[in-house]
Amino acid sequence: MAGLTKLGVGADPQIVLPDVLAALDRDGGVIVENMLGQAGAGRIRDELAADFDRWKPGSRSDLDVWQTFHGARTIRFTGLAARSDAFVQYGLLNPLLLAVSDALLLANAADYWLNTGQVMAVGPGEPAQYLHRDENNWPEAVADGRELTVSAMFALGDFTRDNGATVVQPGSHRLPAGVRRGPADSDGEFETAFAEMPAGSGMIYTGKVVHGAGANTTDEWRHGMHVSFVVGWLRPEEASPLMVDRDRAAALPPRARDLLGWGSYHSDGGGRTWLVDFEDAGRLFASEPGG
């Protein structure tokens, strides 16, 4: 059975960055212990505890395919930047995740922004999610050799094979561009790895690697948090500005505002998009501290 490389992150994420990038190039995913830290994971769980308690498991979609994908025993919700200061500090602005995103996404775009920040609490008895590639959110844009999105699955509690640790097929990111989605992609073409890791760790992975949530055969919940970025010229999965209002955005650091869609995109070729009155949306906060 294949395994994923496990690394530790110290005070300076730049020190571990070359090893992270090498592992991503080889396997498509890498586990980084202490990426959030126990304190960061604990604060996020505490600040989201009320949402976990009130949210019902299952999909909000009427379509069978999404009901299957989301899972009938899994709790999912987004808008984390509106709900949790700790998410902004430890997740959205995670220095290692941003450094990896700089390295992989800025080769294909002038900037990137949040694709989605969401919790995925996998409940007891939930079967394994079907395997997929994240970049297939944008099938018109996928291409060999071009990364569109970078993700991290953070362990807010311990991840084990029994409680639904993320399943990964190392090396599958090297397959030709194209949709890989559904049970047929778990047929043994690649060896399988399980992202087993202690709370506070993260698994960074590319949009091309085939993966999915594992089955939870225990009587406990597996609490995880997915954070992903996408190149700035694509529309994200999550409509962050509809979740994080202007007042909340004004209280956040400028980089967090940009990542949440409260700034404009300036392409290297001179094009500008996501403007307000033909100017950068960041001007909405010119009078705010740090604006």
Q: In the predicted model, what is the mean pLDDT of residues 197-212?
A: 96
- The count of C-alpha atoms lying within 13 angstroms of the C-alpha of 16, restricted to the half-sphere facing its C-beta, is 23
> How far apart are the C-alpha atoms of 177 and 188, rounded to whole Å?
19
Question: Please, what is the average pLDDT of the chain?
Answer: 91
Model confidence at 290, pLDDT cuts 50, 70, 90, reads very low
> Tell me, what's the pLDDT at 182?
58
> Tell me, what's the pLDDT at 84?
98
- Specify which residues 76 forms β-bridges with: 120
- More confident position, 254 or 185: 254
Whether the pLDDT of residue 133 is over 80: the answer is: yes
Q: In the predicted model, what is the mean pLDDT of residues 278-291?
A: 79
> Tell me, what's the pLDDT at 181?
63
> Tell me, what's the pLDDT at 288?
57
Q: In the predicted model, what is the mean pLDDT of residues 122-139?
A: 93
Q: In what order do the strands lie in the sheet with 167-168?
A: 193-194, 167-168, 211-212
Express each pLDDT in 25-38 by its tens digit: 999 999 999 999 99
Model confidence at 186, pLDDT cuts 50, 70, 90, reads very low
CATH code for the domain defined by 6-239: 2.60.120.620
Whether the pLDDT of residue 201 is over 80: the answer is: yes
Express each pLDDT in 224-244 by its tens digit: 999 999 999 999 999 999 999
Other CB atoms within a 10 A radius of the CB of residue 56 amount to 6
Question: Model's pTM, two decimal places?
Answer: 0.93
Express each pLDDT in 68-126 by its tens digit: 766 678 899 999 999 999 999 999 999 999 999 999 999 999 999 999 999 999 999 99
- 30 to 11, 25, 203: CA distances (angstroms): 19, 10, 5
The DSSP secondary structure of 63-87, one letter per residue, reads SHHHHHHH-TTEEEE--HHHH-HHI
